[in-house]
Structure 1
Amino acid sequence: MTRTTAELRGGLPPALAAVVDDYEEHLRGGRELSEHTVRAYLTDTVSLLDHLARRSGTRVGDLDLAALRSWLARGRTTGDGRATTARRAAAARSFTRWLRRTGLTTEDVGLRLVSPKAHRTLPDVLAPDQARAVVESTGGADEPAGLRDALVLELLYASGVRVSELVGLDVDDVDRGRRLLRVLGKGRKERSVPYGAPAERALDAWLTRGRPALVTDRTGPALLLGTRGGRLDPREARRIVHAAMAAVPGAPDIGPHGLRHTAATHVLEGGADLRSVQELLGHASLATTQIYTHVTVERLRAVHAQAHPRA
């Protein structure tokens, strides 16, 4: 039976358990990581140290390159794919780098750990006419939930923000005069993202006829609300997007992240440069944004194959 991370952590030798506690404090206190990222780092670190303990290691000084490699190999034999292996290797390198920097080890044993590069699959994106149909799928709705759903779709496609960034918006984060959203992204980095006239119309309808009907004593400053007046949950935002996709014949079943991919692709195809798209999406590295150049090339190939008589 597979043991949970908490069970594995509780079974570590005392010295290793103490290191995990210190590492968790470092992750939570100094790097401004999301809760999801902290949990992922800790899960992989605990798994690594459990593996070390099974190899009779009792302290982090026992960790070496052979232990790291055998840990990754064990994961591959139990079904880890290339992407998972790459992620676990990155987590291990982060941990060993911290061990060396804090003086808990004399060398960074993860420096020579290599991992397979994850295959970067091209994301599904909507065609422009599909995108238009999706964001207009709630057109005519006049009840609060319908007005909110229309705004969710418009803002996700108009701005390319992440769903967590969308539901985290407060009313004061919207600069309606300049049509800008003040977004708090990964690593608590703030950026301004523009939106267009259709999104402004949806925003006006929501703020005048939708949001006031759902406001309660517990609402606070949240822009988007659930039916009980609290801040909209990301899961509900995902449900809204999937329902809109289902209402458009031929549209792929993509979620909020798919709308983000679609927005970036359409902006790039419309003539924007890659640096501008990077700023729009809030990517720390241009390399992350470059996947959209592959998306547009693939779409060009598909059009060519369908339209050219000698394709």
Structure 2
Amino acid sequence: MSSHRAPDEPADAGPVNEAIDAYLEYLSLVKGRAVNTVTAYGRDLRAACEGLESIDQFTLDRGRDVLDWALESGASRASVARLVSSMRGFGSWLSHTGRLPLNPVSALQAPTPQRHLPRVLNNNQADTLLDHARAQAELTDTDIDNPGDDHRRALAVRDWAILELLYASGIRVSELCSADLADLGDRDLRVTGKGNKTRIVPFGTSAREAMNAWINVRPRLSARRAGNQPAVPALFLGSRGGRIDQRRVREIVHNAATEAGTPGISPHGLRHTSATAVLEGGADLRVVQELLGHASMQTTQIYTHVGSERLRRVYRQTHPRSGFQH
């Protein structure tokens, strides 16, 4: 089964990776799938299941979050379709072999061109998520004689800053991961989006406070670079001091929502939560287009129904003939 493991996959396999290995062996030996097909499915499934501790965590919500991440990362339509096929086939095999009672992702479908908003949080839910992340950063116990405690505190502060920045700015997860320290201003961040286009995105006081806290503890992670490897210029670092990757950010957002008790959300969903809040606060679609870095207003048109809802609410509150008490 080890022959189906991706080249950079660690040798130690937990129960989820063991199930993936068994499924890949089934595809190869029983179904007769081509080596390249098995390799591609294996890569998809390891990415989709990264961080899962047990098979029962492979759920429909997880599958949808994986698709959100793939779309936000600019995956092609063919790659997304293969990802859906990989996960649905794996889910069917898990059910058929008795590892799960039913295929958890049988309803998963490759998304059509988006005509509606992805899952978003309302203002109260966003506040709950961010307040919880801040509390985790501030309450994480540290012992100056225990480097492990110091490391956990640095990670908690980093996670809080990531959540605050994603919500405050509406940037893509790929833009967050590729940003460098030199791109950070006092109340804004220079990001490079799709088509290698650069823009400046603003953020407010709460995000600035979180970013200040992160910059103060960032050297604790930077110092963990192995051997003589040079420090990286990345704004956000992984636990070993390298540039953080998109899958880790997706896990941070997913885990934070679970711990805070808010609806499940992805970095893609936080981006749209930010844009929705700005629009409902009075901004027009042109502002949202600039904030999100959409090349075409057609992409931003998914927010038109948000504007219509705000228009109806204002009308009911202000027009003397709306039929509502004033």
TM-score of the aligned structures, taking structure 2 as reference length: 0.56
Counterpart of 1:170 in structure 2 is 180
Distance, in Å, in 2 between the alignment partners of 1:227 and 1:191 is 28
Counterpart of 1:213 in structure 2 is 220
Counterpart of 1:289 in structure 2 is 300
Distance, in Å, in 1 between the alignment partners of 2:238 and 2:311 is 40
Residue 210 of structure 2 aligns to which amino acid in structure 1? A
Distance, in Å, in 2 between the alignment partners of 1:164 and 1:119 is 19
* Contact 2:280/2:310, CA 8 A, preserved across alignment: no
2:191 corresponds to 1:183: yes
Counterpart of 1:133 in structure 2 is 128
Counterpart of 2:52 in structure 1 is none
Distance, in Å, in 1 between the alignment partners of 2:124 and 2:175 is 26
Q: Which runs of 5+ in 2 are unaligned?
A: 1-30, 38-72, 83-106, 139-152, 316-321
Distance, in Å, in 1 between the alignment partners of 2:260 and 2:251 is 15
What do the CA deviations read for 1:117-153 (whole angstroms, capped 9, x no partner)?
A: x462432211111111111212242510011001000
Decide which of 117, 124, 137 is 1:122's aligned counterpart: 117
* Contact 1:162/1:257, CA 8 A, preserved across alignment: yes
Distance, in Å, in 1 between the alignment partners of 2:110 and 2:208 is 43
Aligned-residue offset at 1:202: 0.7
What do the CA deviations read for 1:55-97 (whole angstroms, capped 9, x no partner)?
A: xxxxxxxxxxxxxxxxxxxxxxxx997856xxxxxxxxxxxxx
Counterpart of 1:144 in structure 2 is 154
Please state whether the residue corresponding to 1:183 is helix, strand or coil. strand
Q: Which runs of 5+ in 1 are unaligned?
A: 8-33, 44-78, 85-117
Please state whether the residue corresponding to 2:286 is helix, strand or coil. helix
Residue 298 of structure 2 aligns to which amino acid in structure 1? A
Q: Percent identity?
A: 50
Aligned-residue offset at 1:38: 9.8
What CA RMSD, in Å, does the superposition of the two structures yield over aligned residues? 3.5
Please state whether the residue corresponding to 2:166 is helix, strand or coil. helix
TM-score of the aligned structures, taking structure 1 as reference length: 0.59
Aligned-residue offset at 1:5: 9.7
Please state whether the residue corresponding to 1:220 is helix, strand or coil. coil
Residue 202 of structure 2 aligns to which amino acid in structure 1? P
Distance, in Å, in 2 between the alignment partners of 1:248 and 1:133 is 7
CA pair 172-119 structure 1, distance change in 2 beyond 3 A: closer
Aligned-residue offset at 1:256: 0.5
The structure with more radius of gyration: 1
How many aligned positions are there?
Answer: 211
Aligned-residue offset at 1:237: 0.8
